[in-house]
Structure 1
Amino acid sequence: MTENLAVKDDFIRAFSGDLGEPGWLTELRINAWQQASELALPFVDKTKIDRWNFTKFEAFAAFQAGVTNEELPESVQTLISEDANVYVQIDNRPARLHLNKELLDAGVIFTDIITAAKDHPELVQKYFMTEAVKVDESRLTAFHTALVNGGLFLYVPKNVEVKEPIQAVFAHGNAASPLVNHVLLVADDNSAVTYVENYVTLDAENKGIVNIVAEVIAENNAQVKFGAVDNLGSGATTYVSRRGHVGNDSRVEWALGLMNDGDTINENTTNLMGNGSVSDVKTVTVGRGKQTQNITTRVTHYGLASLGTILSHGVMKDSATTIFNGIGHIKHGASKSDAQQESRVLMLSPKARGDANPILLIDENDVVAGHAASVGRVDPLQLFYLMSRGISKQEAERLVIHGFLDPVVRQLPIESVKLQLKEVIEGKVR
């Protein structure tokens, strides 16, 4: 891999030094880059990714420190709620950052990931690529650690409840340079927060690579709602790993709209470490064009009486292919746990393909587990009925798609994600 990149240890040391990063982060980057050339790509069941470009790029744009307060593109501005606590990043530049005084006074930290590493090293070093995601998991996690050039850090102190959603928008326009984005969210004991992020492409056809890692740490009795609408263009080859690490009596809810148009590997894993821990994952996707997606959702139970649920619905158009891998794993010792999952795929075209692969791995007695999966095409009788009422075929398909995805969309716990997702779905359907 390294022969294809103009990146060496001294290059990493130089740009890390220019950013004023602490020594531990510089050394972590260098060690990760050395591992990246030795590690294999992540195993992705039922999708061949060895020819996908995850690591080759023309140039590398390092993070640019300081909030620019530049004028935002319309496609970004429309995503931001008025008076929102928000972070906006355009390529590698922090373009907007706002956190209200009440949350600042409560000790909430909300800033870009590079500034956080300098200003709050004890927190970032404790959690960055140590618990939820590990550097040496694969070539792509090592590549990510070495070349992080964007992202944010959100820390909610003990006993603090953030009542209004905190929002982030990451816009990618410079296709020559990879977007290597890291989100680190830590909810300390007895805290609560809702976080919503959007990924958008400013030039949908520009080819480029995107590598995203999000780590969500929910300490004891913490409540986290994490919403995302990924809407990157057809030119982007994207790797996304979102990982939850959940403590005693804590809950992490995921509401994910996976709407990228390019080839995408999406991994969402929640490790229920604590007793009484809960994870609820809801995912919707619409595949179109010639894209290939692999969406793996895993909930692993370590704690007693932990509860994990997975609900995924996908619609495939044109020649798109999507693989849904749903994995519920109850480890030995996690008695009285409950693992449930449901995956459903609807195909609209003879060339479209969707697979749903439910997997249950049970290493303990006295547990509950179940799964449901279905893959099928649009019922011609449904279309015939709608068209017999004077509705065009295109509009009939639109109504069928919305009806198929609605059971998931309407259950999303974050209203802003729900509204944004409906708009994106409508755009893809038309």
Structure 2
Amino acid sequence: MTTQIVLPVNPEQLRSSSSGSGEPAWLTDSRVDALKLAADLELPTLEKTKIERWDLNHFGSWTSSAPALKEQLPEQVASFVNLQENSNLLVQQNHAIVFAQLSADLVEKGVIFTDLQTAARDHEDLVKPYLHSIIKPEENRLSALHSALWNGGVFLYVPKNVEVDIPLQSIFLIDSTETVFAPHVLIVAGENSRVTYVDNYISGDYSESIVHNGAAEVIAKDGAKVQFATVHHLNATTTDYTIRRAMLGNDASIEWIVGEMNSGDSASETLTILKGNGSNSDAKVIAVGSGSQRLNYTTKAVHFGKSSESQMITRAVMREQASAIINGITKIEKGATKADGQQTEKVLMLSPKARGDANPILLIDEDDVTAGHAASVGQVNQEQIYYLMSRGISREQAERLIIYGFLAPVVSDIPLEQLQQQLQGLVERKLGQ
């Protein structure tokens, strides 16, 4: 069934606005072609989720105009970053980057950390070959709309053999529903490079509905090591649809650390394509659902390379009437000998009306491999509660300790202490503690 979506711009307006703002012709053409696709494509298919019933008609108006950079951080952002400790920061407010800072030593090493629209103009040779190379516009209606309407966004390039010791951070703030909010993150890590990237999606004070249609693409070349941490905590009137994907070369690795703390309906896919021999993917995801939220989170690894390894850990806590579909998919292609894929999905329900569904899937087309999965859905273990209470701990404190222990495998791996503390606070707030 095709669901009508009102496009926020027509092809002629999009072409005029894109070219008028100085975007290169190849990017303008790419946007217009994707918008035309969106009119005919279906919505994405989500396991056991009727996404056509979600609120997907409020995108805001599209504009390519960019406000001037600010000397000071927006007020809502200041508490999320310490500029004295981290001078490598980009801030997007609604449709455009408003704050940008990169340390001189990284500039000297050839690191590029800027908004994607600027990078498309100034670094075409680095952007054009990779933009939309892993997340194709023709996949579904939302991917096509994103390819047409993305704005602001981040481009991070780390040259060959460069190791970046300090995390680079982005903050995406939406405090108005008037314009499209669809940042695109593109990371290109050169051979034998190393980098940690952290981002944070936050909402301001608004009550109107809006869709965040975001994407992240990571290209890790041979020997590159990328750590990607992200926390989403958008408000109840924001529908969040996010796709994250990585392509790994020989002996390359990525570590995903994902905190899904939204208050509205939310769906995401975190996928690693292990193209190279000896490549490694480690994905850790936590989610907390409350109210009447509908959540659908998929973590996936596709093995092509020999001796490639993937690990997935997903933890979800559901309270009140929230429902979650948690999918783990390991696909080992023919020829990926000695590959090893392991996954674990666990859902903890704190209310009789909460719902959780863990779906581990192994798709194996090669004999000489190792693969395994584990999944569980259940209530808080009462024996553990009683044990802790017998040590003088109250029931509420006992439940809190069990929940924190349940989520600890992800929270403890956040690479930025300030973000780790913030995620801990978000967990407490969502659990009503």
Q: Distance in 2 between matches of 1:238 and 1:334?
A: 34
The total of aligned residue pairs comes to: 428
Amino acid at match of 1:140: L
Q: Distance in 1 between matches of 2:65 and 2:370?
A: 47
C-alpha distance in 2 between matches for 1:146 and 1:342: 35
- 1:82 CA displacement: 2.9
Q: Deviations over 1:341-389 (max 9, x none)?
A: 0111100001101111000000001100000001001123444555566
* Equivalent residue, structure 2, for 1:213: 215
CA deviations 1:395-421 (Å, max 9, x no partner) are 443222112112332244554543332
Q: Equivalences for 1:3-402 in 2 at 5 Å?
A: 4-73=6-75, 75-83=76-84, 84=86, 85-130=88-133, 132-203=134-205, 205-384=207-386, 386=388, 393-402=395-404
Q: 1:112 to 1:66 in 2, by over 3 A?
A: farther
CA distance in 2, matches of 1:143, 1:376: 38
Q: Is the 8 A contact 1:67 1:97 kept in 2?
A: yes
SS in 1 for 2:184: strand
TM-aligned CA distance change 1:414 to 1:247, over 3 Å: farther
Provide, for residues 254-298 of structure 1, a one-character-per-residue CA deviation record: whole Å limited to 9, x for no partner.
011111111011111100000100000001111111111100000
Q: TM-score, normalised by structure 1?
A: 0.95
Counterpart Cα distance in 2 of 1:275 and 1:290? 44
**One-letter identity of the residue aligned with 1:46:** K
2: CA distance, partners of 1:233 / 1:346? 22
Query: Would you say the 8 A contact 1:54–1:238 is kept in 2?
Result: no
**Contact 1:230 1:259 survives alignment (8 Å):** yes
In structure 2, give the amino acid aligned to 1:293. Answer: L
- Which range moves more in the overlay, 177-186 or 354-363? 177-186
Change (3 A) 1:413 1:149: closer
CA contact (8 A) 1:228 1:417 kept: no
Structure 1: gaps spanning 5 or more residues: none
SS of aligned partner of 2:163: coil
SS in structure 2 of the partner of residue 126 of structure 1: coil
In the alignment, the residues of structure 1 paired with residue 258 and residue 73 of structure 2 have an alpha-carbon distance, to the nearest angstrom, of 28
Deviation of 1:46 after TM superposition, in Å, equals: 1.0
TM-score by length of 2: 0.94
Amino acid at match of 2:424: K
Distance 1:158 1:18 in 2: 35
RMSD: 1.8
In the TM superposition, what whole-angstrom CA distance separates every residue of 1:151-209 from its partner, at most 9, and x where no partner exists?
Answer: 11000011111111000000011123331110001101111100000000012644211
Q: Secondary structure at the match of 1:375?
A: strand
Q: CA deviation at 1:6?
A: 4.6
Identical-residue share of aligned pairs (%): 46
Select between 372-381 and 58-67 the one with higher mean Cα deviation. 58-67
Structure 2 runs not aligned, ≥5 long: none
CA contact (8 A) 2:112 2:158 kept: yes
Q: 1:56: Cα distance to partner?
A: 3.6
Match of 1:420 among 419, 422, 433: 422
Is the 8 Å Cα contact of residues 112 and 151 (structure 1) preserved in structure 2? yes
Inter-partner Cα distance in structure 2 for 1:324 and 1:240: 15
Find the aligned partners of 2:414 and 2:170 in 1 and give their Cα distance: 18
2: distance between equivalents of 1:241 and 1:6? 21
Matches of 1:407 and 1:103, distance apart in 2? 31
**For residues 3 and 156 of structure 1, what CA distance do their matches in structure 2 show?**
38
Which residue in the other structure is 1:403 paired with? Answer: 405
Letter in 2 for 1:366: D
Conserved in 1, the CA contact under 8 Å of 2:350 and 2:380? yes
